[in-house]
Amino acid sequence: MRTFLAVKPDGVERGLIGEVIKRIEDKGLKIIGLKMIWLDREKAEEHYAEHKGKDFFNELIEYITSKPIVAMAIEGPDAVPVVRNLIGTTNPAEANPGTIRGDYGLEISENIVHAADSQENAERELNLYFNEEEFQEY
């Protein structure tokens, strides 16, 4: 199973890319795609299309396009739920210690990482950021 994870601008700015990668690899998951990119508004709006029309949408798009992100394709058994458990709940104040957001997140709008919340969204997000040829199987 594959899933998508991104280190958001605050995680990149705070130098947490290595920590996020370490936690993924320590869990036994494989990173089969990895790239640092600066999202344009169009791709950001496509990524967060389900939030269009919500009060926080424009703020979210401004934030996610403000600095680079690190996009990752991750592979392993039950990758979607395993990665969701690794990152913790969306609100860092409610995330358990030991999760990425619980340990490093400061506020709900800047919570270090994004991860696909379903297999369907994982496939959509992987296709948005990666071509199949970019995956490195090992």
Using alpha carbons, select from 63, 57, 50, 59 the residue that is nearest to residue 125: 50
pLDDT at residue number 87:
97
pLDDT at residue number 61:
94
Q: Do the strands 30-37 and 2-7 form a parallel or antiparallel pair, or are they unpaired?
A: unpaired
pTM value is: 0.92
* Contact criterion met (CB below 8 Å) for 18 and 138: no
pLDDT at residue number 25:
98
Average pLDDT, 10 consecutive residues per value, the chain (138 residues): 97 98 98 96 93 91 96 97 97 96 93 96 95 76
pLDDT at residue number 138:
63
The structural domains of the chain, with segments of one domain joined by +, span 2-133
So what's the architecture of 2-133 in CATH? 2-Layer Sandwich (3.30)
Catalytic residues: 114
